[in-house]
Amino acid sequence: MPELLDYEPVIFEPARGEEEPLSPVQEEILQLKKERNAIILAHNYQVGSIQRIADYVGDSLGLAYKAAETDAEVILFCGVHFMAETAKIVNPDKKVLLPDLEAGCSLSDSCPPERLAAYKEQNPDVYVVAYINCSAGVKALSDVICTSGNAVRIVENIPQDRPVLFVPDQNLGQWVAARTGRKMRLWPGSCYVHILFTVRALEKLKSRYPDAPIVAHPECTEAVRDMADEVCSTEKMVGFAKNHPADRFIVITEAGMLHRLHREVPEKTFIAGPTENCACNECRFMKMNTIEKVRDALKNLSPEITLPEEIRQAAYTPIKRMLDWSR
Ligand code: 13P
Ligand code: SF4
């Protein structure tokens, strides 16, 4: 007997029929994009209307590669601040726009550069692996960057003879340490969105959809990850859903991911992961970007990401190392 759910699950059913026509604002954005010679890069957590007009939608790793490769003059980055900052670090001569400069990240905020600098002073031989969800200041103090998509591979590559500090996400760090067998000190940071998914809430949902495999992001807690059939980055969730024989999936990550899955795997059903209080979970920072702000950013060529050159250069080295190691 399935447990009673005290909410209606958020479900993306298989797509039927044609997509709706673009709205006037979306049309305006496509026109402005041409005029500005701009590329629009969007993270998988952006609202559906933004994903629809983006040139590329993906995870942090895919977006970092796209940013590094583009020859557009303007990069309009629809994601959060650290992602746009990464695009600027690899493209010092391009204009990098973020629709709302306040779109931060709680995980990034949990590791201020001054605290990491103080730790390094006390532990001079430590090798710092920084998850890309951190500020340019933290990247500048790190040896190599990783994303959830390549963290295992990056950690397998780091020198064996050094103590390792993984910043800022303890959950991802713990998952990578278990996968690689590498002992790592973990910075005590976490993503406020992913730690809200709980075993109790998930068990209730699973009892209603026992046939639906669970796919979870590694930023979730270990107890939630242990319930998942697959733990992976947002990009890898697309491949998992495509290749798995199941018709429906429970997706334990930020709810914007369902838009991406729905577009890429239109014949399958996606059920949003629940928290204790809500049928799905959204990142308030990711959702600060709206379609109107995207239009305004292209119109005004602002707000723009800027960085002190010294920090940018220091942050570039570990990003470059990551891009080289994960090719
Ligand atoms: P991905 O790199 O898997 O897209 O994750 C980014 C992120 O911010 C997760 O919260
Ligand atoms: Fe940061 Fe979490 Fe939002 Fe990702 S979902 S941008 S880690 S606060």
- Could you report the per-residue pLDDT of 131-159, keeping only the tens digit for each? 999 999 999 999 999 999 999 999 999 99
What ligand has the least distance to the C-alpha of 195?
2
Which pair of structure tokens corresponds to residue 312?
């940018």
pLDDT band at 287 (very low <50, low <70, confident <90, very high): very high
> At how many degrees (to 10) do helices 309-325 and 60-69 cross?
110
Residue 44: phi, psi to the nearest 5?
-55, -15
Residues 246 and 265: their CA atoms lie apart, in Å, by: 12
How sure is the predictor about 327, in pLDDT bands with cuts at 50, 70 and 90? confident
- Cis, bond preceding 303 (omega within 30 deg of 0): yes
Burial class (CB in 10 A: 0-12, 13-18, 19+), 144: buried
Return the structure tokens found at 69: 């490769």
Q: Which of 83, 108, 148, 231 to mutate to test the pocket of ligand 1 (most atoms within 8 A of CB)?
A: 148
Mutate which of 285, 287, 288 for ligand 2? The one with the most ligand atoms within 8 Å of its CB, which is 285
Average pLDDT of the chain, as a whole number: 95
pLDDT band at 308 (very low <50, low <70, confident <90, very high): very high
**Residues enclosing ligand 1, CB less than 6 A?**
44, 59-60, 133, 147-149, 191, 217, 219, 233-234
Sign of CA dihedral 61, 299, 94, 113: negative
pLDDT digits (tens, 9 = 90+) for 210-230: 999 999 999 999 999 999 999
pTM of the model: 0.95
Asked whether the beta carbons of 74 and 34 are under 8 A apart, the reply is no
Mention every residue, 6+ apart, whose C-beta is less than 8 A from residue 171.
Answer: 190, 191, 194, 195, 218, 219, 220, 221, 222, 225
Burial degree of 115 (CB within 10 A; 0-12, 13-18, 19+): middle
Nearest alpha carbon, ligand 1 atom 4: 59
**Measured CA distances, 20 to 29, 49, 249 (Å):** 17, 11, 25
CA dihedral over 68, 115, 156, 106, signed as positive or negative: negative
Ligand 2: residues within 6 Å at CB?
80, 105-107, 133, 191-193, 254, 283, 285-286
- Rounded to a whole number of angstroms, the distance between the first and last alpha carbons of the chain is 48
Task: Output the CA–CA distances (angstroms, integers) from residue 77 to 33, 38, 40, 161, 318, in the order listed.
Answer: 12, 10, 6, 38, 21
